[in-house]
Amino acid sequence: MPGVEIDRSTLWKRARQDKHGNIPDPKVAEKAKLIDELQKQVSEGKVSVYGSNDVLTMALGPEHPGRLRGVGAGISPRQYFNLPKPQRVSFDDRLKESLRVLLQEETKKMEAKAREEALRMEARTKQLVEAEREHFLSQLSQLIPNFDPSMLKQRISQSPKNPMSDKASCSGGDVRSLHFEDDTAKNGKHQQDEEKEEEKRDEEKEEEKEKEDEEKHDDKVIEVGDYSNMEASSS
């Protein structure tokens, strides 16, 4: 019928039929049967076609460059489907794209390396903080009699787990706790010093008392001697 556009898949089938409408080649006949099934699904709305992805492309696969199946020689896919002319990519554009991809990959590698380094630094800082705590507790145990390190450890463990936060907290709330324990240690040492001074004063008092007793004893001996001499003289 004039004015009616015939689908190229139909033209492809007719070009392979004999005068009786049969397709001698079994493989081609199988493709023609698939085309009929796809045309039926398109008419029923089950399958959608758009651009170069029509029924013949679905049945036979993508077109080869420079020619188009079912419409004869001299017509390219771009002309038949009214496709835009492909733009040529210059060498500079390809180089820029390659550099962009390379830079993106290097950036990802550097970010991953920086994250690993940050994790190592965090672990190292945590180890140093723990070592400083143990050293501090050891000093307190030596200065304060019957000191229980578990009490202070429990208070310190309530501080943030992040080592960087531990450093920040040492300038705030935790440092007051440490100062309090340090003052306790100093008070304990001061108390020990006072006890030693008191013992020293007691010893000095004891020595003075013994000295006074010796002097009194000597005085009595002298008095007895004088009394004996007086009796001897009178007799």
Across 16-40, average pLDDT: 86
pLDDT at 85: 65
20: its two tokens: 């009786």
Q: What are phi and psi of 62, to 5 degrees?
A: -60, 155
pLDDT at 113: 94
Per the model's pLDDT, the better-predicted residue between 59 and 177 turns out to be 59
Across 172-187, average pLDDT: 55
pLDDT at 168: 46
CB 162 within 8 A of CB 139: no
Residues in the chain: 235
- The Cα 77–Cα 63 span in angstroms is 8
The answer to whether residue 74 scores a pLDDT higher than 60 is no
Round the average pLDDT of the chain to a whole number and report it. Answer: 74
The answer to whether residue 5 scores a pLDDT higher than 70 is no
pLDDT in tens, 96-119: 888 999 999 999 999 999 999 999
Secondary-structure percent of the chain, ordered helix, strand, coil, rounded to 5: 70, 0, 30
- The Cα 95–Cα 89 span in angstroms is 10
CB 156 within 8 A of CB 202: no
Across 149-175, average pLDDT: 56
- The Cα 58–Cα 221 span in angstroms is 141
pLDDT at 104: 93
Per the model's pLDDT, the better-predicted residue between 101 and 94 turns out to be 101
CB 35 within 8 A of CB 13: yes
**Percent of the chain scoring above 90 in pLDDT:** 14
